[in-house]
Structure 1
């Protein structure tokens, strides 16, 4: 299992790669550009190559994350065009960095209804992926169900993937906090979650896990991340993910709230401890 965390890429991708290593991370995640903006970003090719080489030398896995502001289900033509352009660019940036996947949030139907939202989401994914043939998979992330968000359940996500023209270019990223807040995962029914992932075909296309406790209670539909063991889910329930054979080898990314990235070193050690490992230093 590749346990890691989210790292800022503000000082360059190579620096982010080295920072991940310093913190004891075996994986890390970066935003492709400003998470709350859609301004195009020019990649420093030399920096990207150096960071990619460093990750390869140290066996570190990278996951990329696209900006929050895109909406795969928007009825607005201007935002639809920008979303397509932006995510195509995100995939190219992720490829330059050597990422295994680029996480994207599912669409919001913004009052047009779930049927419209799913149809529009599939249409948008088709347009995006018609023009991308690289190795990076676009990873659909399950949502907490805030507002008009789609993609709460395992079954809905697998159905969306299979409805596209390019299911082979799409994978999944599972967020523990989102599933708990959406009410689609009950901590004392962990085996049922794994079984559903297997039976629907979700598991074979699962590429990454976002590993977060939840400040909000079960079924609240509020996306509020918390440090591991400090929230409503609890360390005992979350440890099941770390010990589950079906998830071994996957990047497990902490997105818990920190004032400084340095705090992740202690939390990464804690996750190894929950797995039954004693990893000293970071």
Structure 2
């Protein structure tokens, strides 16, 4: 079974988001844990969560994707911004204890001219403050496209972060097809080679989730511009090869394409029809 969903708003609650996912043929969805451009988080309604659990169990949902706010920069050059990021991270992990079967995914951060090594050091410091020995949430670093001073543009940087975290048994990565392609991993012409590279540096067992997106930009552009499946430089055929690859087919995929609900439904239907397992 193809585990696939898309990004949905939880402004009306988790239950309604889950019902919306089911209505378009999805068996998971991604949501922002709080205002993605700010810091405010909606209070958790325990009755809403119970209703969410019913939908999840009835429809054989895969893990949900809880996406951290874009404002969370653990390696900022400003201490105030780093402290804000740590507060968000700790609060998100606490809140996710109430939400069933979810991965916590976030952008590692931007070092803002301090250098990648310093950026990694600060990210590790923040994660070590937030992740306790009893943490049971799967925490995933998102691989980035490499624009500006982003940290996490290659497997070596992602590995260095994970290796630096003391309680890292539940840590891994989320690969984004647009980001991978933009950062110079040729998933169109050499998918096997890309996966072999990931395996040699990190281990493919660390790849827990996939953001499935086409790209508006050319290969190795280091630009993060998502496109609907089949309308970009990656192309429909390459995306279909990804969901059907023996080493990836059992992962959970979420679309972040520039679409409304009807567009997501069409993409999900197309991908389900193309899935061979």
Distance in 2 between residues matched to 1:249 and 1:14, nearest whole Å: 25
SS at match of 1:245: coil
Distance in 1 between residues matched to 2:49 and 2:79, nearest whole Å: 33
Q: Give the deviation of 1:276 after TM superposition.
A: 4.3
Contact 2:242 2:249 in 1 (8 A): no
**Corresponding residue of 1:273:** 273
**Mapping of residues 32-181 of structure 1, within 5 Å:** 32-61=33-62, 62-130=64-132, 133-181=134-182
Distance in 2 between residues matched to 1:91 and 1:53, nearest whole Å: 22
Contact 2:103 2:137 in 1 (8 A): yes
Contact 1:95 1:134 in 2 (8 A): no
1:210 aligns to 2:199 (yes or no): no
Unaligned 5+ runs, structure 2: none
Deviations 1:56-103 (A, max 9, x none): 221112111111111021121111111111112222333322143110
Q: Give the deviation of 1:186 after TM superposition.
A: 4.5
SS at match of 2:197: helix
Distance in 2 between residues matched to 1:206 and 1:100, nearest whole Å: 15
Deviations 1:22-76 (A, max 9, x none): 1100221111111111124321111112102321221112111111111021121
Distance in 2 between residues matched to 1:126 and 1:7, nearest whole Å: 30
Distance in 2 between residues matched to 1:16 and 1:211, nearest whole Å: 19
**Alignment TM-score, normalising by the size of structure 2:** 0.94
**Corresponding residue of 1:262:** 262
Deviates more, 1:170-179 or 1:49-58: 49-58
Q: Give the deviation of 1:153 after TM superposition.
A: 1.1
SS at match of 2:29: strand
Root-mean-square deviation (Å): 1.6
